[in-house]
Amino acid sequence: MSKQTITGWIFSILPLSLFFFFLNQIPVISSGEPYTISFMWVPSLNIVLSFHLDGLSLLFSLLVTGIGTLIIIYGSGYLKNHKNLVQFYIYTILFMVSMLGVVLSDNIFCLFVFWELTSLSSFLLIGFENEKEKARSAALQALLVTSLGGLALLAGFILLSQVGGSSELSVLTSYANSIQSDRLYLPILLLILAGAFTKSAQIPFHFWLPNAMEAPTPVSAYLHSATMVKAGVYLLARLHLSLGGTQAWFIILTIIGALTMLVGAYLALSHTEIKRVLAYSTISSLGIMVLLIGLGTYGTVKAAIVFLLAHALYKCALFMVSGAIFKQTGTLNLEQLGGLWRLMPVTMLITGTAALSLSGLGPVLSFIAKELLIESVLTIPQLGFSLTLAVIITASISVAVALLLFIRPFFRNQTFANTFAKEASFSLLFGPGLLASLGVILGLFPGTISERIIEPAIYSTLGEHYSVQLSLWHGFTPALAMSSLAFVFGVILYQKWVDFRNFTTNMGPYLRTGPTWLYDKSIESLHSLANSQTNFLQSEHLSRYLLTVIAITVLLVGFPLVFKASFYPTPVLGEIRFYEVGLTLLIISATVTAITVRSRLAAVAALGVVGYGVALVFTFFGAPDLAMTQVMIETLTVILLVLVLYHLPGFAILSSHKERLRDAILAGATGALMTIFIILGSLIQSFPSISHYYIENSVTLAHGRNIVNIILVEYRVLDTLGEITVLSLAGVGVFALLKLRLGRKEKDKP
């Protein structure tokens, strides 16, 4: 084994030990005792890092850690010699921890943070081959779609916590009645469903999932079939007690779930690349789970949970073997592959077992799941017939897909051009082999999980105890008859697959304006909007920027000032002293000089006079601190300006009369605004002044008598820290700009 493969086995110790930890919790959890721990995180917002392990969380935790272990081992073989293999391990572990966070969080905001983390790690993993343009855009698409849903989810959670009065999931369940009768219930439901549906690739958000197949196969197997995409299903099951059971819930989930199930199945048959076929089949399965949770009876929830487990096992195994086939042959195209049974017999065996599970026939766990599914759907009042029909259509397509995946690559007569293909390595076959055989073992001995895992999971979803007995053989029931019917249809569909493909290819152009088209269009228009807006705002003239900023400030502040003028008290003039008049005249004449004089140096000097005049004003009115600072700033500004002037070309009038008039009006308006502002500020006191507090406590609390300085370094010290940080950054920016110019000049020299 290579060093990197060994690293993979070592990395897998973490998920494996977690897996055993969760296995150990089974006896405690199945006795009905949830396991809770919590830490304060943001007490002021009532956000607690609280974790809650119950039946449903346990099932997901076992899947996440168990499959995670196998994925890391598999990835070590699949990505052998890849230069970013270690990144793969790290991202995968990051994802696993985020996913565990999602399924274990009791606080909804905590859940949301982990939820977004899964989107982020999914982004990193889909874009793993970051040199490929397609991988990057697929990663971005998945991120945009799921985080758009994430935003909706956050809004929904905020409303939910306000309406429900708590942000703990375990508490919210007991307020179900008040939540569901609130007028905000429907918005909450829609927002949260938007989050769940984008994550679980429900129609019309399903399109990101097939594109996410750009990710390396271990990622697709882990995130996009077995775990992350089920986060939405998890959330629905988790919120069933608090939000579920209403008419809106029933209608939306049933319709979207059923549509996703059918469309996913249809699209699965119309593709030729194995990974895409599997992706659409996953979408279809997610639809089934959403449908079952939406129906919300004991029977359907039981079917959903058994199916969820079975699906995770076989779909992950199928993805893994498809990766092995790709690794050995270099293609995943069902129209090119063939005759592999001789070259890859072990892979063939594993694929066969997993495909058996996919078809839901034989002694496998998914057979039990499908029987439960049909049985529970049959008993739904009113909708029973149509839903059963939809389920049977989906089941027959599953059978066809299973046959397609098993027979075409391995037994099709046409020998595949690549005869160098040989059996995949152990690390590539270990995971799928284990998962596929687990599907059979659990199918043969369903008793091992029915009470320990399925029963507690149903209890957490429905809040009532049901005794669960799973068995492989139910006798000759209507469900069995329908399964057989589905099988027959499936075989026929498989034989007509080529015709079906031709049909869907011809249909293709009519279906182009789907959600993908909408997504592309909206991204395109977003770009052009950003472009036109940037072109409009970024004129690349400093004077224009200043003009925009100042004009907008004057307008925004000026309007309310003018409109509310009647509320203002009239200012009372104090006594005017002669030196105040003199000082004012000095400042005004210096200002006039600064704007009329035809020499830069003179203008700078005149501005300096203005500044020193203001410093004098500060001195007269008892602010020596401000005066001192003003003098210093004024001095340094003059130095700076002189230094800069030295580099400027000779004085010239560049602007037209009109432009100067406009600038004069704007400058006058700004001055007037500031004057009114300052006068009003001294007249209107909306809140009691806090200067008394400052003065009274400065010596006792802050050990100083200079209030100005005490405010800077004691009372508002965090602000000062922020200010000096900004100052430093601005300094670095100026420095960089100056150095850039200097560097260029030196280069220009010979």
Least distance in angstroms from the C-beta of 646 to another protein: 8
Closer Cβ to another protein, 682 or 700, answer by number: 700
DSSP string, 456-514: HHHHHHHSS-------S---S-HHHHHHHHHHHHHHHHHHTHHHHHHHHHHHGGGG-SS
Q: Which of residues 340-369 bind another protein (CB under 8 A)?
A: none
Closer Cβ to another protein, 183 or 703, answer by number: 703
Task: Point out which span in 232-240, 258-266, 361-369, 631-639 binds another protein (CB under 8 A).
Answer: 631-639
Q: Among candidates 264, 261, 316, 263, which has minimal Cα distance to 69?
A: 316
Is residue 398 a contact partner of residue 490, using CB atoms and an 8 Å limit? yes
In single-letter form, the type of residue at position 176 comes to A
Least distance in angstroms from the C-beta of 608 to another protein: 14
| Helix runs in 330-360, H state only | 345-359
Q: Whole-angstrom distance between the N-terminal and C-terminal Cα of the chain?
A: 58
Closer Cβ to another protein, 42 or 588, answer by number: 42
Least distance in angstroms from the C-beta of 603 to another protein: 18
Cis amide bond preceding 43, omega within 30: no
Q: Which of residues 676-735 bind another protein (CB under 8 A)?
A: 701-706, 708-710, 712-714, 717-718, 720-721, 724-725, 727-728, 730-732, 734-735
Closer Cβ to another protein, 417 or 732, answer by number: 732
**Which element (helix H / strand E) includes 47?**
strand 47-53
In single-letter form, the type of residue at position 36 comes to T
Neighbours of 538 (CB within 10 A): 10
Closer Cβ to another protein, 595 or 644, answer by number: 644
Q: Which of residues 184-213 bind another protein (CB under 8 A)?
A: none
Least distance in angstroms from the C-beta of 167 to another protein: 25
Least distance in angstroms from the C-beta of 441 to another protein: 54
Here the tokens at position 638 are: 């003059």
Least distance in angstroms from the C-beta of 700 to another protein: 11
Closer Cβ to another protein, 156 or 611, answer by number: 611
Rounded to whole angstroms, the Cα distance separating 395 from 389 reads: 10
Q: Which of residues 644-673 bind another protein (CB under 8 A)?
A: 644, 646-647
Least distance in angstroms from the C-beta of 435 to another protein: 49
Here the tokens at position 387 are: 């839903």
Quick one: how far is CA 132 from the chain centroid? 22
Closer Cβ to another protein, 469 or 691, answer by number: 691
> Given candidates 37, 444, 661, 738, which one binds another protein under the rule CB under 8 A?
738
DSSP 364: S
In single-letter form, the type of residue at position 586 comes to L
Rounded to whole angstroms, the Cα distance separating 95 from 576 reads: 72
DSSP 425: P
Place of tokens 């070309």: 649
Least distance in angstroms from the C-beta of 734 to another protein: 5
> Given candidates 632, 661, 664, 684, which one binds another protein under the rule CB under 8 A?
632
Q: Which of residues 611-630 bind another protein (CB under 8 A)?
A: 624-625, 628-629
Least distance in angstroms from the C-beta of 728 to another protein: 5
Least distance in angstroms from the C-beta of 580 to another protein: 22
Interface with another protein (CB under 8 A), residue total 44
Closer Cβ to another protein, 546 or 632, answer by number: 632
> Given candidates 526, 640, 667, 684, which one binds another protein under the rule CB under 8 A?
640
502 counts as binding another protein under rule CB under 8 A = no
- What b/e sequence results for 341-356 when a residue is b if at least 16 CB atoms lie within 10 Å of its CB, and e otherwise? bebbebbbbbbbbbbb
Is residue 69 a contact partner of residue 19, using CB atoms and an 8 Å limit? yes
Q: Among candidates 260, 269, 353, which has minimal Cα distance to 313?
A: 353
Least distance in angstroms from the C-beta of 704 to another protein: 4
Least distance in angstroms from the C-beta of 642 to another protein: 9
Rounded to whole angstroms, the Cα distance separating 152 from 140 reads: 18
Rounded to whole angstroms, the Cα distance separating 99 from 452 reads: 22
Neighbours of 107 (CB within 10 A): 25
Is residue 90 a contact partner of residue 8, using CB atoms and an 8 Å limit? no
Task: Point out which span in 205-213, 371-379, 458-466, 634-642 binds another protein (CB under 8 A).
Answer: 634-642
Is residue 299 a contact partner of residue 376, using CB atoms and an 8 Å limit? yes
Rounded to whole angstroms, the Cα distance separating 28 from 41 reads: 27
Rounded to whole angstroms, the Cα distance separating 412 from 497 reads: 14
Closer Cβ to another protein, 43 or 569, answer by number: 43
Q: Which residues pair with 51 in a beta bridge?
A: 37, 105
Closer Cβ to another protein, 568 or 621, answer by number: 621
Least distance in angstroms from the C-beta of 750 to another protein: 19
Closer Cβ to another protein, 3 or 703, answer by number: 703
**Residues listed for the chain:** 750
Cis amide bond preceding 204, omega within 30: yes
Task: Point out which span in 376-384, 472-480, 669-677, 737-745 binds another protein (CB under 8 A).
Answer: 737-745
> Given candidates 251, 636, 661, 672, which one binds another protein under the rule CB under 8 A?
636
Least distance in angstroms from the C-beta of 695 to another protein: 14
Least distance in angstroms from the C-beta of 550 to another protein: 24
Neighbours of 697 (CB within 10 A): 14
Task: Point out which span in 78-86, 99-107, 366-374, 739-747 binds another protein (CB under 8 A).
Answer: 739-747
> Given candidates 639, 664, 674, 679, which one binds another protein under the rule CB under 8 A?
639
Closer Cβ to another protein, 511 or 633, answer by number: 633
48 SS3 class: strand
Closer Cβ to another protein, 336 or 720, answer by number: 720
Rounded to whole angstroms, the Cα distance separating 317 from 374 reads: 24
Q: Which residues bind another protein (CB under 8 A)?
A: 624-625, 628-629, 632-633, 635-636, 639-640, 643-644, 646-647, 701-706, 708-710, 712-714, 717-718, 720-721, 724-725, 727-728, 730-732, 734-735, 738-739, 741-742, 745
